[in-house]
Amino acid sequence: MWRTKLIRFCGLAAIVAGVLRGIASVIPGTTPRIMALYFFTDVFLLFGSIGIYGFQHEEIGLTGTLGFLLQVVGSLILITRDVAVLGSGAYLVGALMFTAGLDLLAAGSWKVKRFPRWILILWVLSTIVGPIGYFTAGLSVLFMVSGMLFGIAFAWGGITVLFSAATNSIVAKCDNFSTVV
């Protein structure tokens, strides 16, 4: 029972993370207290990633599991950058790890079929469009579009986790396994 609640709580965190990421995409980086917004976004991304992985962990395979681990490490790097433990250069490392992890998680999720395909496609599309906008002069609007695409898809992934009947059946399998062992 506690696993169901934890996975659903993390699904809720994914919704919040998606909304915050969407908001952060349209707010200029020079806005006062922007680092506080980034901090909360990244913390919710971490917990949201846990929920999205936990929702399908038994079936996601090595690709998805490796993706999840990259997302966790990437999120932790971003969080430590947000609180000024690491310098601003850590953003690229953390973001790269998170996006590579997101792509691998999407690939593993594609096989499992617990999320609508459009969510997985938007995750991957956001990781392609984002770097183009970030690194190409004159195309910074693509970075904003990427954040919006990711935010919508991540939030909807959280909705899928939060309200899916599959959450109960997955957790029931885990609980049955742990009582046998």
Domain limits for position 102: 2-180
Instruction: State residue 30's pLDDT score.
Output: 86
Mean pLDDT of 120-129: 97
Span 92-112, pLDDT tens digits: 999 999 999 999 999 999 999
31 secondary structure, DSSP code: S
**Over the chain, what is the mean pLDDT?**
91
User: Alpha helices, DSSP H only, in the chain?
Assistant: 2-26, 34-54, 61-82, 90-112, 117-135, 140-163, 165-180
| Rounded Cα gap, residues 77 and 35, in angstroms | 14
* Integer Cα distance of 138 and 81 in angstroms: 26
**Number of domains present in the structure of the chain:** 1
pLDDT digits (tens, 9 = 90+) for 28-87: 888 889 999 999 999 999 999 999 999 999 999 999 999 999 999 999 999 999 999 999
| Predicted structure pTM score | 0.89
Q: How far apart, in whole angstroms, are the C-alpha atoms of residue 32 and residue 139?
A: 24
Give one word for 33, left, alpha or beta, with left for phi > 0 and alpha for psi -120 to 50.
Answer: left
Query: 146-164 pLDDT, tens per residue?
Result: 999 999 999 999 999 999 8
